[in-house]
Amino acid sequence: MARGPGVDQPGPIRLLIVDDHDLFRTGLSSLLADGLGIEIVAQASGGRMGVRLARELKPDVVLMDLRMPDLDGIDAIRLIVEEDPTARVIALTVASSEHDVAAAVLAGACGYLVKDSPVDEIVVAVRAAARGEAWLSPRAATALVDRVRSSNVEPPAEELTVIAELSARELEVLRLVARGLENSEIAYELGISPRTAKNHLSSILAKLGVTNRIQAAIYAVRSGLA
């Protein structure tokens, strides 16, 4: 379904939108299909239909509402990812509560957006997902971090050992990732180029043995860095 990190997208990003609010779903479809390099392959008005269409159409990315009457988005995300572990699903809802963000990520979502996000932010998230990257809006990142922080779960000893292997600059980058900053924002904060910020993040992910910035942020919080 999805391409791995760093793999170029050869054509428009094939997007499936799942939301039970007809006006929101059709309006978002129109906006995203307006010359932004995104092809809306289908719309689904419920979770069960979304799971079926994801299976049949294999879109590059799925935008999944979390509040639906027939099958909620968390269960739908879990079913889609269980059937295809490479599936790229972005959770979409009206609020970034700690519980919802954590539940969506644990179910397999690679991103989380609130419905009042600007269209350009949604496009950024969809493009990141299509590249195999994880993406959280700043509010969702904060909610997830707060959820992990409040869980009071002691990090495994091996996590602390790996953290100790990061350079001082990598630790700075990781702290900013845990705050929900994107590479361009990290570059601005640290006075480095976006390419350098990206290289630092790639090195951090490799050292931590994780695949995306969401997991890296959780790692940072559990280890007491953020």
The three-point CA angle 186-187-193 to 5° equals: 155
What is the CATH number for 42? 3.40.50.2300
Residue 111 DSSP class: E
Tokens standing for residue 213: 């910035």
Q: In terms of DSSP H, where are the helices of 61-137? A: 73-83, 98-107, 119-130
Q: Residues 136-182: pLDDT tens digits?
A: 766 666 777 777 777 665 655 666 677 888 999 999 999 998 887 88
Domain membership of residue 2 (yes or no) is no
| Domain co-membership, 89 together with 128 | yes
Taking every pair of Cα atoms in the chain, the longest distance, rounded to a whole number of angstroms, is 50
Domain-embedded: residue 205 = yes
Structural domain contains residue 91: yes
Same domain, 66 and 131: yes
Q: Are residue 90 and residue 57 in the same domain, yes or no? A: yes
Please state, in angstroms and rounded to a whole number, the distance separating the CA atoms of residues 193 and 171. 17
Express each pLDDT in 48-70 by its tens digit: 999 999 999 999 999 999 988 89
Per the domain annotation, does 7 fall within a domain? no
Are 132 and 80 contained in the same domain? yes
To the nearest whole percent, how much of the chain has pLDDT over 70? 85
**Phi and psi of 129, rounded to 5°?**
-60, -40
Domain C-terminal end among 119, 143, 167:
143
Q: State both tokens at 113.
A: 């957006």
Do residue 138 and residue 170 come from a single domain?
Answer: no
- CATH number for 164: 1.10.10.10
pTM of the full structure: 0.69
**Total domains present in the chain:** 2
Domain boundary among 83, 113, 143: 143
User: Are residues 160 and 132 located together in one domain of the fold?
Assistant: no
Domain with 218, as residue range(s), is: 153-222
Domain termination residue (choose one: 98, 120, 143): 143
Specify the higher pLDDT residue, 46 or 217.
46
Do 82 and 30 lie in one domain? The reply is: yes
Q: Is residue 148 part of a domain?
A: no
